[in-house]
Structure 1
Amino acid sequence: LEDLCISRPKSRLTWGIELPFDKDYVCYVWFDALLNYISALGWPDGEKYKTFWPGEHLVAKDILKPHAVFWPTMLKAAGLPVYQHLNVHGYWLVRDTKMSKSLGNVVEPLEMRQKYGLDAFRYFLLREMHFGSDASFSEEGMVTRINADLANDLGNLFSRVLSMTTKYFESKVPQPGEFSEDDKAIVELCATAMTNYIQLFGNTQFAQGLDSLWDLVRALNKYVDSQAPWTLFKQGDTTRLGTVMYVLLSAMRKVALCLWAVMPDASRTLLEQLGQQPGEGPVTTSLEAEAGNFDGLQPGTEVAASSNLFPRIDVKALQQEAPAEKAPKAKKEKKQEAPKAAPAAEGQSGEISFDQFKAVEMRAGTVVVAEKHPNADRILRLEIDFDEGQPRQILSGLADYYKPEELVGKQVIAVLNLAPRKIRGLMSNGMVLTAEKDGKLSVLTPAAPVPNGSQIA
């Protein structure tokens, strides 16, 4: 280490804090700026200084030297306690390159906020970067993360559980019965996930902390599938059904509380949907205390009828939205030519061969989300689990025949290898098969439950 000059001549730098012992010089900015950490707290006698110093610093790696070398030296020279810890994060890169205005690869945070929402953007930044290392930013990667974690996992969980609570218990938290081993496993996982989340966040391991919390979110979605509340309802097993729904709702409350630090607005909304007064739980509740018990959600509490806080983002629609209206004539010409492009085989009068039939991929899947299309009254937007890793979005003209909540949990049969179609701004990736009689449509379902993704042959 070399000596550091803490002054700059006014002849070279016209602005700055004048040195008290030489009016021709101003203070070097990295000497002046660092003092603000304690002067802003009212050093030496301010209450905030007594309360918050020494604290921890959170800095980027490009200003490591002033914080790791200059500042501790200044504090020791002044006889003041050195900060407790220095937390240093890396860079957000674009295609493994540092952002630069000259390269034109700068990502505008306010633009991302406007496009995807502040909470989703915050979640991605904390979830994607392992603190201390560089991370690569791409809008495609952010959309994938939002769809997978927020839409498919968290959003799907709240949507289906609240819809079923409305259907089975008139939107009220049911009274639980005796917990089974499956229920106790969820309670134990809830405590473990929260404890890990608290500890990892305390060590600035934000990505790992959120991953631990998502272990619980994913387990709750699997718990829904394994316990099959819709089957318990059909069997009239109200006691067991109430226990399952209580376990789900209570665990969902724990997740929402943990997310307060990452997505405050979304956390508030999720808690409101669970009948919690905004501002009470997250502000006054200790997460450590919450991790040690499974209470907090009182039976009889009224919850929201539905949830659609994290709608799935259509990647293809984002890419194609701009040029989609450029060539309407070409689309019309293709429609007119379609009958000529696929004539019936000679001598078969429209019959198809066995090989042609085999080319149609039909599979069974469970509807996990059902809601009205935002731009079409007669169309429902379905998310269906075909055991593909994440649910598939399919649009279907069933709104006149089914209420959305009637389809949640129902197994249906769909054609999966149809070319994707954009309908009123949303992409549909398949077709749910229906039967028609007397002007009424009914969805085709397996005669008995089968594993999601089972092929129809």
Structure 2
Amino acid sequence: MKNNFYITTPIYYVNDIPHLGHAYTSFVADTISRYKRLSNFDVYFTTGTDEHGQKVENSAKDKNINTLEFTDKVSARFKDLCSKLKLTNNDFIRTTENRHKNKVQKIWNKLIKNNEIYLGSYEGWYSIRDECFINESDIKINKDNERIGPSLDKLKKVQEPSYFFKLSKWQKPLLDFYKKNKNFVKPASRFNEVKSFVENGLEDLSISRTSFKWGIKVPKNDEHIIYVWLDALFNYISVLEDNLENKYWPADIHIVGKDILRFHAIYWPAFLLAAGYATPKNIYAHGWWTINGEKMSKSLGNVIDPNYLVDTYGIDQVRYFLLKEIPFGQDGNFSEELLVNRINSDLANDFGNLVQRVLTMIQKYSSGNIPKADNLNETDLSLIELPENIYDINNAQMNNYQFNIILENIWKIIRSANSYVDNNEPWNLYKNNNSKRLNNVLYTLVNTIYKVTILLQPFLPESSKKIFHLLKQKEEISFSEIKNNIKEGVKLEKSQPIFPRFDNKDLKI
């Protein structure tokens, strides 16, 4: 029987079009999903769009279109991105769907019943960008004497009636929860920030608004709109319809950006515990991508469209770069030059060249058939068994989602295989009619490529399928088959380039 594994991206806010950061988060979640499926888990992977709030309402007004029409258009772009990136998500949730709105209103009623909500009034500084009130300690004053929030937007003074969630009463239960669940938030540095924030005290949280209308109405008081974060966070449960909630909740991991960690690591478990739900097992907060050393922003005009990158360089090439370039959890710098250099060095030169020349030699020296091995020596066995050893090492790294280390370990095999070719010189073995040694070398190499490709499936899914096709294998192969070799006599397809090289002269970003 398979173990269940439930993974989510955050639902993406629809006030603007998808950018590189969205693609990164989605690639990460998809990579973990694929890895778990290949490890024989029953995976459920969800993503979607967060479509309520004042920011969305204002964006629609700025474009002079109906708010629902605006959200339909922008949400469709995120859904199209899922297809473009060939994500394996099981569902795509929109917070404007009835299934979500109904669930959120049921949760509200449950919180009312549990005496976790009360009606009061609120006066404070509100960030439209972050859709929340900002604590005085987090406010800065600019040169124009305007109050600026953590996201560098101008704050607005708001005074209005509001329902409150009794967040203050959850300070000690949350700290106790963190103590018992030491891996609740990763990386550890981010968890320390969360714990420090909670230790400094929690105030009751305003969870309704009356100054705009775009959102889910509070039951029995439709003058109020439910706070967008209380609304949005419950997508992780509303998306689990019918019996799926019983099967998959609590989530095994939420992948989020570090800018929304506080909502996920403090408000979310408090909401869940107050409503009688189990908490997610893990929240992983990743870093931000800078562009050529600068923070990505519309005002700087350096927001990168992932569609351009995929159309120009390929899905797997972009995916590989984003996963390999930085340790997961840290900030990273993107430039098109770095992307091209990584594609050319790792994919085209190292791996692509290995596949191309080994399969070409099998066509030339063995009529395209995998030769029969006869008494492989210690060097042969060391290489052909290396992927099995690396798989065991990588499984431990996968617990902390250190994709860059996992890929570097796989590239050790690829570099070893390239050195093996140079050391054994199959062309001279053929020239000297040393057929026994030649057959062993080609057998060792083709099976090393086969096993490397098994390991690379979560990271290079489209390229792996192409290589399996050349090797006359099924297009997806479980990790459990890592110790198996392709049988002798299999007639291989003629080699084709898997990873084209790119010229640095053609850069546009």
Name the TM tier (shorter chain). Answer: 0.5 to 0.7
Q: Does 1:93 align with 2:93?
A: no
Match of 2:281 in 1: 84
Q: In the aligned structure 2, how far is the partner of 1:298 from the partner of 1:94?
A: 47
Q: Which residue of 1 aligns with 2:213?
A: 14
CA offsets 1:242-261 (integer angstroms, 9 cap, x no match): 11111111111111122221
| TM-score of the pair, normalised by structure 1 | 0.65
Please name the residue that 1:5 is paired with: 206
Give 3-state SS (helix, strand or coil) of 2:347's partner: helix
1:94-125 C-alpha deviation (Å, 9 max, x unpaired): 13321011011111111111111111111111
Which is greater in Rg?
A: 1
| Separation in 2, partners of 1:88, 1:188 | 35
2-structure distance, mates of 1:307, 1:155: 10
Bigger fraction of residues in helix: 2
CA separation in 2, counterparts of 1:218 and 1:76? Answer: 50
Could you tell me which residue of structure 2 aligns to residue 201 of structure 1? Answer: 398
Q: For 2:233, what is the secondary structure of its paired residue?
A: coil
TM-aligned CA deviation for residue 85 of structure 1: 0.6
Between the two proteins, what is the percent identity of the paired residues?
40
Q: Are positions 1:216 and 2:417 aligned together?
A: no
* SS of the residue 1:256 aligns to: helix
- Is the contact between residue 288 and residue 331 of structure 2 (CA under 8 Å) also seen in structure 1? yes
Cα distance in 1 between the residues matched to 2:351 and 2:430: 24
Q: What is the CA–CA distance in structure 1 between the aligned matches of 2:504 and 2:251, rounded to whole Å?
A: 47
Q: What is the aligned-residue RMSD (CA, Å)?
A: 1.6
CA shift digits 1:126-180 (9 cap, x unpaired):
1112110000000000000000000000110011000000011011111111111
How far the C-alpha of 1:14 sits from its partner, in A, is: 1.2
Offset at 1:236? Answer: 1.2
Quote how far apart the aligned CAs of 1:52 are. 4.7
Alignment of 1:100-111 (within 5 A): 100-111=297-308
Per-residue CA deviations over 1:209-250 (Å, capped at 9, x if unaligned) read 111111111111111111111111112111111111111111
* Partner of residue 73, structure 1: 270
CA distance in 1, matches of 2:277, 2:218: 21
1:41-440 to 2 correspondence within 5 Å?
41-42=240-241, 46-278=243-475, 281-282=476-477, 285=478, 287=479, 289-291=480-482, 293=483, 295-316=484-505, 318=506
My pick for the range that moved more, 105-114 or 46-55, is 46-55
Letter in 1 for 2:206: C
Q: Which amino acid aligns with 1:225?
A: D
Q: How far apart are 1:46 and its partner, in Å?
A: 1.7
**How many angstroms does 1:48 deviate by?**
4.7
Alpha-carbon distance between aligned partners in 2 of 1:304 and 1:71, rounded to the nearest angstrom = 52
SS of the aligned residue for 1:111 comes to helix
8 Å Cα contact 2:251-2:280 kept in structure 1:
yes
Shift of 1:312: 1.6
Q: What SS does structure 1 have at the residue aligned with 2:495? A: coil
Measure the CA separation in 1 of the matches of 2:485 and 2:384: 13
Amino acid at match of 1:213: I
Cα separation, 2, equivalents of 1:166 and 1:310: 20
Mapped contact 2:384–2:447 kept (Cα < 8 A): no
C-alpha separation between the residues in 2 aligned to 1:247 and 1:307? 20
Distance apart, 1:196 and its partner CA: 2.5
Unaligned runs of 5+ in 2: 1-201
- Matched position secondary structure for 1:93: strand
SS at match of 2:406: helix
Q: Show structure 1 runs of 5+ residues with no match.
A: 322-457
Alignment partner, residue 390 of structure 1: none
Separation in structure 2 between the aligned mates of residue 307 and residue 193 of structure 1, nearest angstrom:
27
Q: Answer yes or no: is 1:23 the counterpart of 2:23.
A: no
- Count of aligned pairs between the two proteins: 307
Q: Please give the secondary structure, in 2, of the residue aligned with 1:136.
A: strand
Contact kept in structure 1, 2:237 and 2:245, CA below 8 Å = no
Partner of 1:33: helix, strand, or coil? helix
**Alignment partner of 2:299: what SS?**
coil
Instruction: Report if the CA contact (8 A) 1:131-1:206 is conserved.
Output: yes
Q: CA deviation at 1:53?
A: 2.7
Output the amino acid matched with 1:226: N
> Is contact 2:254–2:284 with CA below 8 Å preserved after alignment?
yes
- Highest RCO, 1 vs 2 (Cα 8 Å, sep ≥ 6): 2
Q: Secondary structure at the match of 1:165?
A: helix
Query: Any conservation in 1 of the 2:384–2:445 contact (CA below 8 Å)?
Result: no
Q: Distance in 2 between matches of 1:184 and 1:312?
A: 32
Is the partner of 1:261 in helix, strand or coil? Answer: coil
For residues 220 and 264 of structure 2, the distance between their equivalents in structure 1, rounded to whole angstroms, comes to 25
Whole-Å Cα distance in 1 between the matches of residues 297 and 215 of structure 2? 27
How far, CA to CA, are the matches of 1:68 and 1:29 in structure 2?
Answer: 16
Moved over 3 A (4+): none
Aligned pair partner of 2:239 in 40, 43, 62: 40
